[in-house]
Structure formats: C-alpha cells, structure tokens
Amino acid sequence: MSFWLPLVLSLPAPNCTGMLGAHCDRCGEGPGMDFRVLGTLEIWTEQGRLMLPGARHQRVLAALLLAPNSVVPLSKLIEATWDDEPPATATKQVQNCVSTLRERLGDPDQRLIVTDGPGYRITVGEDQLDVLRFTHRIADARRFAAEGALREGVREIRSALELWRGPALDGLGTAVLAGRAARLDEQRLNALELCLDWQLALGEYREVVDELAEVVSEHPLRERPHTQLMLALDRGGRQADALNVFHRLRVRLAEELGVDPGADVRQLHERILRGEPHSDGAVPSTPELAAERAPDELDRAAKELAAAIARQWTAEAEMRSLNRPEPVPLTWSSTTKQVAAVASAVLGERPGDGSDRLVLSGDLADVVAKFRQVPTRQLVVLGEPGAGKTVLAILLTLGLLADAPPGEPVPVLLPLASWNPRQEHLHGWLARKLVEEYPGLANTAAYGKDAALRLVLEGRIIPVLDGLDETPPGFHAAAIDALDQAVAGGRPLVLTCRSAEYELAVNQAGSFLARAAVVEIEPVELEDAIDFLTGRQRVGDNRWQPVVQRLRQEPDGVLAQALRTPLMVDLARTAYAHPATSPGELCDTTRFPDSVVIEGHLLDAYLPAVYLRRPAPPARLDRPARARDYDAEQAERWLSFLARQLERGSTRDLAWWQLDRAVPRIVIGLYLSLPSAVLYALTGWLAAGPAIGAIYGMSFAVAGCVTHSVGHRPGPLRVEARFRRTAGRFGRRFAAGVVIGVCLGLGWSLSAGVIGLLAVVFGLAIGVHVWLDTPLDANRVSSPATVLSNDRAATLSFTLSFMVSLGLFYGMALALTPEAAAAEVFDGRFDLELGLAGGLASALLGRYLVRNPGSVAYGLAGAVIGGLILPPAASPALAVVAGVGFGLAVGLTVCLARAWGAFAITRLWLASRGRIPLEFMGFLDDAHRRGVLRQVGAVYQFRHARLQERLAVRGNIDPQA
C-alpha cells in the first residue's frame, strides 16, 4: 500500500537539543528521526530506514499527525483505522498499535506519543511538521502581499507548495482520513490559485500558462483556474485560445451539471471578445490592488485567535474528563436574589412592559442558545463554591466557537483574579491578558499595531470572565461598577462569581450590571447525583448501594446536603473509584455528623485517590519507563506547601516565575548574588591579588543582594527566534552597541584597533537580541512549559552576549590599558574617570536587570571596581583567564536576574529543603494530568479554590509542610 501525506516530522539527534529545518543548528547533523509519509510511510533514523508492520499502524500515526500536539480520542483513532464496523477488540488493537509505534520510534519515555486523558497526543514542534510550515508560509505570503511585496509573496507561497509531493493521504482509504485529505488538497489548490493570481498581477502571463493548463485539466469544472488561464492567454496575445478555454468550460458545465459559467468568467469572456486592452477579470493588476484583496489584519487575528482558544479549552476539557462520559448534570435559572436588572432592561423593552423579573432557565446543553437569546449578550452566572461555574464557562466558550455565525465576536475565557479595577481599565487589562495568553497578537507585521487592544475596543471579543470572587474582597464592588461602565454600550460579557460575594458587593455599593441577565446554578438533583456516582459501576459492583439508599431515604439529610454541588459529587466518585474502597462509610453519622465534615473528608481523600500507585501496563515491562509515580503523602506535602503560598499571596495563579515569593527576600538576595560575587572575587584576585578580589566580591555581593531583595525582576519573555525583516532593527541596535564599545575603549585609553574590535563585538552582542521576537501568529497559546522554554532561550541568549562582550573588554583592558591615569586619587590607587565610566556601564547593566534598584546598586559597584587602578597583566594568558572569569561573572549576574535563572536557583533551594520536588515542572504537569491542577494560559491553578484552601489549612497543621 502506498500513500502520501504532506507531513514531515523531524526530530533532533539523540544527543542534541536544537533543530531548525532540515539540519540541526547546534550540532550540524541532519534529523535524528524523520517521518516521511510520501508514498509508503517511511521513518528514517541515523541508522537507516525503520519499517512499520502494516496499514493499521500507518493510519494510527497519520491520524495523530493530522492533529499535532492535540489529544486524539481513542474513538477517533478507531474511526480512522476501520472504515466499516470496527471489531470488538478495536480499542485494544489501537493501543497495541501505539505501543508498537513507540517501540519502533525509540520512545520509551512516551515523550513523542503521549497518553493523554481519553486518547493520545503526538508532540511536535512548529518546525517539525510540514503541514504547519505550509500554513505559516501561506500566512507569511499573505502578509507580504498585504504590504505590496507580491514577488516576495510569490516566493514564499511557492516554497510552501514545494512541501507537497502528491495527493494527500493517497491510498489510506478510510472515510475519516479521506475527508481530511480532501480538505488538505483544497488548501493546496487555494494556495496555488492565490499564487497564480499574484503572478498574473506581476505580468508573468506566459510563465504560468502551462501550469494553469495542467490545473484546468485536473479540475475541469473549477472556474477560477479557467478564468486565470483565459486572462494569461489573452495577455499573452492568444485571444483565440482564451476563447476556446471558455467554450470548453461552458460545454462541460452544461453537460455535467446543467449550469452556465459564473459571472466572473462570463465578464472576462465578453472583455476578450470586445478586445479591451486592460481586462483584468478577477485578478488584481497591481500590487496595491493585491494588497486590497489580502484578508483584513484584524479579521485574520480574530480567526486565528478563535482557533487557538478552541484548541486550548478543548484540551483542558478533555484533561478534566468533562466528557468521561459527561460532566455532572447542571441546571440553572434566573436568580431570586435582588442583584439583577429588571426584565425590561435586559430585554430592551420599555419600562413597565411585562414582568419585572426575568424568567430564564436551562442546562449545559442549551446554555449557548439561551445566551444568544439575551439581546445584550450579557450574562452573570452565580453559584455556590463547587457549583460548576467554571465548567459552565468552559462549555459556553466552546459552544460559542463550535457554531459561531458570521461576525460573532470571539469568546475569550480569562480568570479575573489578576484584575485591579482601581488601577487598570477593563479594556486595558483584557488587551494585556490577550497578549500574555496568545503572544502572537503582539506580532505587528501579521496583525498591525496593538491588535489585541483593537480587538477589544472594536468589540471583536466576548470576555468570559471567570471568578470575580477570586479578586480581593475590597475590589468586588468597584469591579462590578467598572464592568457595567465598560459594557454600557451593549458589549457582550459573561461573568461568574460566588453567589454570596456577588450579593454582598451589590448590596453594599448599589452597583450592578444594568442590562445583564443574572442566573444561578441550582443544586445537583438527587437522581442526577446517583446516576453520576453509579455511571461507571461494573456489573456486580454494589458498593454504592448504601449511599443510593441513604440519599433516597433522606433527600434532605447531611449526605444529600454534602452532595449538592458537582464538585463534591465528582470528588466522591474519584475518592471511591478503587474497588477496595467502601463509599458506604459516608453513611456513618457518628463519623460524619454533618455535611461540612463529609465535604472535608472528600477533599482530604481526593489526593490519595488520584495518586494511587498503579502498575505499569505489561507492554512496557520489557523496557525502562520513566512514568512519574509520586507517593501520595509526599505529593500532598508539596501541594500543601504551594497552596499555602498562594493563600498567603491571595492569588489562585501558580506561576513558576513567582516561585521565589515562597522564600524570604533576604535569602533570595543572598543566593542570587553570592554565586556571581564569588566569580567576581576570583577575577579580582587573579587580576591584582586578594585585596582587590575582596573589593570585587563585596561590591557585587552587596549590589546583588540589595537589588534582588528590594527590586522586582521582569517577568518571562514570550519570544521565539525570528530573522526575517529584522535588518533595520538589527542595524539600529548594532549601532548602539558600537557606541558603547567605543566609549568604553576610549575611557580605558585602548588603541584604535582594539576599540574597533570592541565596537564590533558589542554591536553584535546587542544586535542579536532583535532576533528574539514575538511569535508569528495568534494560533499559539501560552502554557507554563512554552513560556519557560521561551524565557530560557532568551536568558541564555542575553547571558552569552553579555558574557562574551564584557569578558573580552575586561581582558583587553587588563592587558592593554596604559599605566598613566588621568584623575588619580587615594595615592594613585583610584581613577575618577575610569570609575565614572565603569559606574555608567554598570548602571546601564543594572537598569536592564532590575530597573531602578539595579541601576543604582550596580552603578555604585561598577564605579568602585572600574576606578581601581590595576597593574597591567603579567602575561597575555593571565589577561585571557581574567577576561574569561569576568565574563562568566557578568553572564551569571544576567542569568540570575532573569525569570528563568532565578527560578532555576529557587527550585534547587526549595527542593533541598523538601518543599518541592527537584523536577518541579514535571510534577506540576503530572498534577495537571491527574486533575489536581488546571491550566489557564501560562499558569496553573488548583482545580478548585476549595481544594487550595483545604490543602493550605492542612499544610499549616502539618509540621513537615
């Protein structure tokens, strides 16, 4: 069997960490593994070609590659594997296929094909899959055309088309994959037609005739390439041939479909008959007209943002097992609390018409339809803790995206906890959060300037704001008033909040959303709770029977009261999922006298249940596995520590770059400043003896300790390597680096040749930073792992550039600076001019690191060591060693001042004290997969505030926590 799929997956060599394109940019070698689905599926490694056993494995792999980095449920893999009725053992066969694929691909750690919730996910980078490269290159081509650069657009779109080497998915044969193949082929044909449009606009008529004739032959009923071929022939002086193309098209359409050609083709035919000299048809004649045809920047931003949000929250819904098989049944209705506007205001009617109270009710299945029925599209969702407000917000967001009518704004689900309504307008906060969560929106070349802010101000998004109650209590009333002002013009809004907090804020300040429908989630129905608890019960398993009997006998009893929220019902099923547990113990009124005790017990039993040790499956026993298996008590201790820190900070966001808030400020200052201070001291010792070394070390130890204890370092950078269209900015930054190098060289009286070398080195060191730019498009969603990876790359880049430039400068200054000084003081031991130059250079470095405290503290330290008059180096070797030492010290200073560097040291510090595991990010990712944490953009949160609060209390009680 042979088939072709436009997907090429390239993995780096085993001992390499970098990969760009076909060859590694770090080791210079080709791909360590290359998936080629060109004809017969081929997998190449450095040792040669690997073979797959059969078509079933090819189909499973193809289905995974068609949804890169997304979970493909087992049901979808089964559909892609069997065209007719799947066998009874289909699930087991797909699992065996995945196991075989992992074995053939050398993936024992399951990092390539990951078991993820209800299915599997294949992890690939943006540059590892050519269907993604195809999409990105088409987007780049459109941007070139929008700027009037049609030739660059043609070049880019041709490079995208070169990735295609045949019909998509040729020979696989299943209906599911055939449908995907048709969509991919349509994308290719659309891209080709767009490219030919641009070539015609550039006057390349004769160059495209043969290609257009081939396209017309392959697609005899497709009108657009016929129009293009007619125009090319007409402009090439072949009017008769152009008229024949129209005649053949008209005959085919009439014979096969019984229709006439469309208006564009007919109009072009008439122009050719009349002999009009400038008959463009539907094709732009100038780059300016082509730019007008390019998609609107903001439309494209909204479209790609919608795709990213759908992918993000679909994955999160699967991670939370909301469809396993379905969430706890949830109903809602208009609130009876005095917190809502009258019905006439919500419905846009005259005051006094109809009832004062709005009547609205529904469940999860119809929440989208009911929301769209509200004229203002403004909805407030209230509920008790654990009532399911966030679940409703997620499903509402996904539902709105699933069948969005043309022109409907994009729903954006954001936690509200970080908004301070007294310091930041809602629109400004929304724009900032959009850029943080979807950093591609900051790409001005793709979407124009301030795309996120324009999306907000032009009403192109529906803010779905989750958790007003998670903002500080003093902000609740101000937030409600600010929200009402922001949406007063009829903008859509969804807001969730705990009922008591919302009612208190409205009653205290009198502010409320004047045109919003306010609904409240109702307690879980008794039978719905029973159905959910017993929904995954095996034949003969009667463990839940005592609970069922108690609930039906005492519908108002303490057990029924405890299980009135989806959170507690879900916790109960999770806590007693193992066959060895006995849910009947919940009926013991002596042990559980009231609902509060039952709820506490279920919260406490949750972690032991989800961290229950399970043996590895047999298929993996023959080879080493790296599956994380944490002890429940140990995991609870670590999570309690984190929960306690979040409670102290009054936040729900568990951000890796804020981990140092769990450490006293003075301790942070010490462990972030002392490592580099030791290197400075060793450098000074090498350069001029122990006394100078002590001055070096103490100066930078004090500067670093003050800076990191008092200042606040910048957050992580969301960047990626980009080189296209950076020449202008690189030139400007290179010039700034040249100026710095020249000033330092003149300050230390170096020769002209050395100053020139320093100028080039500093120019390069500062200029290369422009290659770290915002991501290419809004399709990318921030995650803790991606933000960590991006900031690590930026940190290492900054570290290397400062290390090389300042290390080279120090070594040269030590070897080549004349002994004569211009402004000696302290018996010739200190030069004021050198001290001023060193202070200014260090102040600039400190300002780059930690702004104001850094500029002052490091400026003083630089002045102290810069003004010291040192004897010339005894030998070139000593100057080189001292330069290397100084460069390492500066590099370490820069590294530890960035988010990733500080996190790396903080992680080691807390792990050494048993507060967190050494593999901290891996632990958090594992907790997310187990359902303990939820992922909201670049941060994690506990799955529910009540779990965080409970763990924080237990952590305060536990003496080891």
- 397-439 residue pLDDT tens: 999 998 788 778 999 999 998 898 988 889 989 999 998 888 8
Could you tell me the end-to-end alpha-carbon distance of the chain, in angstroms, rounded to an integer? 59
Residue 32 is predicted with a pLDDT of 47
**Residue 22 confidence class, pLDDT cut points 50, 70, 90:** very low
Residue 773 is predicted with a pLDDT of 55
Residue 891 is predicted with a pLDDT of 87
Residue 439 is predicted with a pLDDT of 82
Residue 802 is predicted with a pLDDT of 78
Contact between 494 and 379 (Cβ < 8 Å): yes
Residue 37 is predicted with a pLDDT of 39
What is the Cα 174 distance to its own chain's centre?
Answer: 33
Pick the residue with more confidence: 783 or 720?
783
Q: pLDDT of 52-109, one tens digit each?
A: 667 777 777 777 777 776 777 887 788 777 766 788 888 888 888 888 878 777 777 7
The pairing of beta strand 517-521 with beta strand 378-383: parallel
Q: Please list the helix, strand and coil fractions of the chain in percent, rounded to the nearest 5, in that order.
A: 60, 10, 35
Distance CA 280, CA 278 (A): 6
Q: pLDDT of 673-727, one tens digit each?
A: 899 999 989 988 888 888 888 988 898 889 888 888 887 877 887 665 555 555 6
Amino acid at site 7? L
CA gyration radius, the chain: 33
Helix (H) or strand (E) holding 33, with range, is strand 33-45
Query: Residue 734 pLDDT more than 90?
Result: no
Average pLDDT over residues 838-863: 73
Distance CA 385, CA 942 (A): 14
Pick the residue with more confidence: 785 or 2?
785
Query: Residue 906 pLDDT more than 90?
Result: yes
Query: Residue 493 pLDDT more than 90?
Result: yes
Average pLDDT over residues 613-635: 58
Contact between 362 and 392 (Cβ < 8 Å): no
Query: Residue 11 pLDDT more than 50?
Result: no
Q: SS3 of 409, please?
A: coil
Q: pLDDT of 555-574, one tens digit each?
A: 889 999 999 988 898 889 88
Q: SS3 of 852, please?
A: helix
**Residue 903 confidence class, pLDDT cut points 50, 70, 90:** very high
Distance CA 876, CA 814 (A): 9
Average pLDDT over residues 486-515: 87
Cα–Cα nearest to 838, from 687, 689, 700, 735: 700
Residue 293 is predicted with a pLDDT of 38
Distance CA 223, CA 578 (A): 62
Residue 10 is predicted with a pLDDT of 40
**Residue 49 confidence class, pLDDT cut points 50, 70, 90:** low
- For 213, residues 6+ apart whose C-beta sits below 8 A from its C-beta are 229
Q: Which of 46-55, 177-186, 943-952 has the highest mean pLDDT?
A: 943-952
Average pLDDT over residues 245-263: 79
Q: SS3 of 521, please?
A: strand
Burial code of 680-696, b = ≥16 C-beta within 10 A, e = fewer?
Answer: bbbbbbbbbeeebbebb
Amino acid at site 312? Q
Residue 680 is predicted with a pLDDT of 87
Cα–Cα nearest to 697, from 730, 673, 721: 673
Q: pLDDT of 765-777, one tens digit each?
A: 666 666 655 554 4
**Residue 640 confidence class, pLDDT cut points 50, 70, 90:** very high
**Residue 728 confidence class, pLDDT cut points 50, 70, 90:** low
**Residue 462 confidence class, pLDDT cut points 50, 70, 90:** very high
Length of the chain: 961
Residue 31 is predicted with a pLDDT of 41
Dig out the tokens for 839 from the structure.
Answer: 């202070």
pLDDT-above-90 percentage for the chain:
14
**Residue 284 confidence class, pLDDT cut points 50, 70, 90:** very low
Pick the residue with more confidence: 931 or 280?
931
Query: Residue 139 pLDDT more than 70?
Result: yes
Phi-psi group of 826: left, alpha or beta (phi > 0 → left; psi -120 to 50 → alpha; rest → beta)? left
**Residue 863 confidence class, pLDDT cut points 50, 70, 90:** confident
Average pLDDT over residues 586-596: 90
Query: Residue 47 pLDDT more than 70?
Result: no
Residue 286 is predicted with a pLDDT of 37
- For 913, residues 6+ apart whose C-beta sits below 8 A from its C-beta are none
Query: Residue 599 pLDDT more than 70?
Result: yes
Least confident of 118-127, 360-369, 372-381, 798-807: 118-127
* Secondary structure E strands in 258-350: 331-334
**Residue 487 confidence class, pLDDT cut points 50, 70, 90:** confident
Class of residue 480 by CB neighbours under 10 A (exposed 0-12, middle 13-18, buried 19+): buried
Q: Which of 121-135, 267-281, 417-431 has the highest mean pLDDT?
A: 417-431
Q: pLDDT of 298-348, one tens digit each?
A: 888 888 888 888 888 888 887 776 655 567 888 899 988 888 888 877 876
CB-side neighbour CA atoms (13 Å) of 846: 27
In Å, the largest CA–CA distance within the chain is 105
Per DSSP, the residues of 437-463 read HSGGGG-HHHH-TTHHHHHHHTT-EEE
Mean model confidence pLDDT for the chain: 78
Phi-psi group of 689: left, alpha or beta (phi > 0 → left; psi -120 to 50 → alpha; rest → beta)? left
